[in-house]
Amino acid sequence: MTKILLIGANGQVGRELQQTLLPLGEVIAVARDQLDLANPEAAYALVVETAPNVIVNAAAYTAVDKAESEPDLAMAVNGTTPEMMAKAASSIGAGLIHISTDYVFDGTQGVAYQETGSTNPKGVYGRTKLAGEEAIQAALPMHMIIRTAWVYGALGKANFVKTMLRLGADRSELRVVGDQIGSPTWAKDLALAIAQMIPKFTPETAGLYHYTNSGVASWYDFAVAIFEEAEALGFPLKIEQVVPITTAEYPTPAQRPAFSVLSLKKTASLLGHCPPHWRASLRKMLVELQTGEG
């Protein structure tokens, strides 16, 4: 039986992984209160002690703006701790699946980024996530690094969809950035894909992958779709108008990539199918949120 160590079990993706990984074998789910992610030695010891066949690291420091003022903590969680997980995995002959981000790219190109594309992160979060990628690649050939983007879900912490629903219930007008382009990703789809990738995880398939939902959108497009779908489902909304604004009109401590669409060709080839379109997945997530079935 495959033994899987899931780290970051209470995050958006981690909660979904707790369900999608179950059919594969024994799942040891470790949440943030059980492992100090800023303590690389503790992560190493956990891997060696549990001796899994596969580690799935769904944990990260994801506060993009706060990372600008906490670079050391962000590097510990996103860079050094994954490196120690990889070294521990190497010592026991395990594989590591690690979730990374579109923020490793600078967002200046106008076509989808390939896994082999040049990285150039613009902020602390992206730099620390890239450091984690590079450390894993150096320490452990048996890895799958899966870059994703714009993740939301019915479970776990606040996200863009939940924030829009909350604000849209209270306000008649919202201003949303319209010049950043990416691909919304439902946490459940990502978790399902990871579960499908594990049986295909071999030395030949190890490496870098991209996974988002199919299709592209701006944050403005995404917000409009959220309200259209939510209204159709009967969510209580006061919103009447969504106004597109520029990134310059909504300054943040961290610079976001203006274009972070990821190529899905390699992942689709491995899985045998393309990821679902983002709007179809958004609709399913809203139904889950409404019915409490998430």
Catalytic residue among 125, 152, 211, 220: 125
Beta strands 185-186 and 151-152, pairing class: parallel
Q: Give how far Cα 4 sits from Cα of 28, 57, 92, 244, Å.
A: 6, 10, 13, 44
Answer whether 190's CB lies under 8 Å from 148's CB: yes
| Helix, strand, or coil (residue 117) | coil
Q: How far is CA 98 from each of CA 38, 59, 83, 193, 287, rounded to the nearest angstrom? A: 16, 9, 11, 13, 29
Q: Report the alpha-carbon distance of residue 44 to residue 174 in Å, rounded.
A: 45
- Nearest C-alpha neighbor of 264 from the set 280, 277, 255, 279: 277
Q: Give the total residue count for the chain.
A: 294
Contacts of 186 (CB under 8 A, 6+ apart): 151, 152, 153, 213, 276, 278, 281, 282, 284, 285
User: CA 221 to CA 223: how far, in whole Å?
Assistant: 5
In whole angstroms, give the CA distance from residue 47 to residue 88.
6
Respond yes or no: is residue 103 known to be catalytic. no
Beta bridge partners of 3: 26
* Residues labelled as active-site residues: 125
